Structure 1
Amino acid sequence: MQSILAAGIYGIFSIIGGIIGYKSAGSKVSLISGTICGLLLLLAAYLQFQGQILGLTLAVVITSILVIVFAIRLGKTRKFMPAGLMVALGLIALAIMLFQLIGR
């Protein structure tokens, strides 16, 4: 159950972050990538809720990719917002998901 919440919450943060990136910097890439990743994470949460292991696997893969991307961005910009926040939230979500995956 915790991994379902982790994927869903991180997915919502991804969508919101993409919208904020678009509104503040006019970045269509942020909007598109944030929305796609967020929707994939919400799909992963739904699949997990349905009892499908594919959902947890998808959530781990998408979250891992986002953590890497935001860690690289944090290294370049040295700004906590938004990259640092997304790395921190992503690592928490990833830890929850991996504990769930290992516990199966």
Structure 2
Amino acid sequence: MAVDRIGYVYAALVAVGGLIGYVKAGSVTSLGAGLLFGLLAAVGAYLTSQNPKNVWLSLGTSGTLAVVMGLRFLNSWKFMPAGLITLASGLMLARIITGMQKRARSS
């Protein structure tokens, strides 16, 4: 079974982003959300590593972050952190959906 390294890197990026938000701005909300969504993304990467068809937690986590942080980015037009997380989440969504389509075609 292949380890979902990209999923784990994404999870770390989200968690570290929350930690940076706390350190720079004192935002407990950023810390909590970053750690929660980082944990969810890490569990999703673990589940996907165990069974490549089990992408639902990763899909939900990256989709939620893409929408929430995308709206924050549109309101502020600041790339850090909202734009970066929106971009990373969008790329994760594209990766997951592409993988789902490839598996559906090969079945």
Same fold (TM over 0.5): yes
1:94 aligns with 2:86: no
Cα-Cα RMSD: 1.5
User: Offset of 1:91 from its aligned partner?
Assistant: 1.1
CA shift digits 1:23-75 (9 cap, x unpaired): 01111111011101101111111111111633x11101110000101111111
Q: What is the TM-score with the length of structure 1 in the denominator?
A: 0.90
- State how many pairs are aligned: 102
Q: Which has the larger radius of gyration?
A: 2
Q: Which stretch of the first structure deviates more once superposed, 6-15 or 38-47? A: 6-15
Q: Which runs of 4+ in 1 moved over 4 A?
A: none
Partner of 2:46: 46
Q: How far apart are the structure 2 equivalents of 1:10 and 1:22?
A: 19
For CA contacts below 8 A with separation 6 or more, give which structure has more relative contact order. 1
Structure 1, unpaired ranges of 5+: none
Q: How far apart are the structure 2 equivalents of 1:6 and 1:57?
A: 16
